Amino acid sequence: MSNPDSSPQATSSSTSPPSHAGHIHTPMCRSCGAPAAAPTPVPWSGDSPPPAYRPIRMPAINAPTNTAAIVLSPVPQPLPVPPAAPPFAFQAPAKRITSPDDIARFHASTHGRHFLGFVAALSASVQGRKLSDPLPSPPSPAVSALLDLISALSAFVASTPPFPHSSRYGNPAFRLWHEKLADSVNELITPITATAASPSVLAGAEVELAPYLLDSFGNGSRIDYGTGHETNFAAFLYCLARLGLITEDDYPAVVLRVFAAYLDLMRTLQDTYLLEPAGSHGVWGLDDYHFLPFVFGAAQLIDHKYMKPKSIHNPDILENFSKEYMYLACVMYVKKVKKGPFAEHSPMLDDISGVPHWKKVNSGLLKMYKAEVLEKVPIMQHFLFGSLIKWYGS
């Protein structure tokens, strides 16, 4: 029987003969002569390769690197939109952000804080509301004009069929669709500004609003779309709020009607013209294209009596409720376009499903939106600044 007090190393050094080249040395027990440890395994050879190993998840090449900072950061809170006062000096907005220092200046500025507060206010306005719920107040004329705008853009899709195309991404017909948008952008904006109490005061607003709208539906040259374009649509809505065209009473309708219609249009564009994801995080993103519908969709589900974050794994729930909740619709879309186990192609969404409450999901996504979208130079370098969203020094 082996002596439990004897060390294999001590035993081998005192009783085992010296090892020779090519000989596998096995320590022996000095009491019974039995092997005191498992023999060293024979190295793998070309004739006997190791078994194939498939990792549970892909390597975290694009995983968020500042997770701890996101968790410890404060939750963005709703803020009122500071109204713009006439006389207006509308100007063509321009890009300003080129470095992380510029990002810090933007977030320290009035409009940096209030733009994020506007997104948080939109999110808070739809807590516990389904897409089909009656609105707390009838849609304002500006909201109706926004819906007409999106309907007109949807009609452009019907009149611009995709070309025969064998590539995975980038059907050139999207350039024609985008040209139609550019040709009619002023005509699409005018009915919105016409809903102002004094439309003449907003004369010339198209020169500043049009670039935000043009960049809200993807890039016509690259035939791509990403969270930066989505953010430009939010900036377009923020500008309308600054001009008093939409008010806080309109926020539920802006999310549940306007943004939901915008999302439906973008899904149609993505599927019809095979838009390439712009700056996708791969498996470490929520979605190859969108972020805000997850924020708003999580807010919709706050305090839901039955559905929890883990409910996204129930196919019946996705099938029956995806038309009522944007979060579920986005998860269903991801599952449709991505193949394989959900935990492999969407580990972020899979991890979020383990959070116990939707309120915590919503607050975490708001923090993540700030860190992973509004604080990323590759995204925000395309953000536009004019007289309605002013650069910090102007």
Measured between alpha carbons, how far is 302 from 282 in angstroms, rounded to an integer?
28
Taking 50 as the threshold, does the pLDDT of residue 9 lie above it?
no
| 318 band by pLDDT with thresholds 50, 70 and 90 | very high
Cα–Cα distance for residue pair 84/244, rounded to 1 Å: 8
Q: What is the pLDDT of residue 190?
A: 97
Q: How many Cα atoms within 13 Å fall on the side-chain side of residue 153?
A: 29
Q: What is the DSSP-derived secondary structure letter of residue 94? A: E
Cβ atoms of residues 176 and 130 within 8 Å: no
Q: Which two tokens stand for residue 260?
A: 């939901």
Higher per-residue confidence, 4 vs 116: 116
Distances in Å between the Cα of 156 and the Cα atoms of 117, 162, 178, 184, 268 are 33, 12, 9, 11, 11
Per-residue pLDDT of 41-59, as tens digits, reads 555 555 555 544 444 444 3
Q: 3-state class of 330 per DSSP?
A: helix
Which candidate, 147, 140, 390, places its Cα nearest to that of 247? 140
Q: What is the pLDDT of residue 199?
A: 94
What is the model's pLDDT at position 394?
A: 58
Question: In this structure, what are the phi and psi dihedrals at residue 177, rounded to the nearest 5 degrees?
Answer: -60, -45
Please state, in angstroms and rounded to a whole number, the distance separating the CA atoms of residues 309 and 360: 10
- Which residues on adjacent β-strands are paired with residue 277? 225
Which pLDDT band holds residue 252 (cuts at 50, 70, 90)? very high
**Using one digit for the tens of pLDDT, what is the confidence trace for 140-187?**
999 999 999 999 999 999 999 999 988 888 899 999 999 999 999 999
What span, in angstroms and rounded, lies between the C-alpha atoms of 127 and 94?
Answer: 35
Percent of the chain with pLDDT over 70: 81
pLDDT digits (tens, 9 = 90+) for 272-301: 999 999 865 555 568 889 999 999 999 999
Per-residue pLDDT averaged across 132-136, rounded?
94
User: Sign (positive/negative) of CA torsion 194, 196, 200, 201?
Assistant: negative
Give the rounded distance of the alpha carbon of 161 from its chain centre: 28
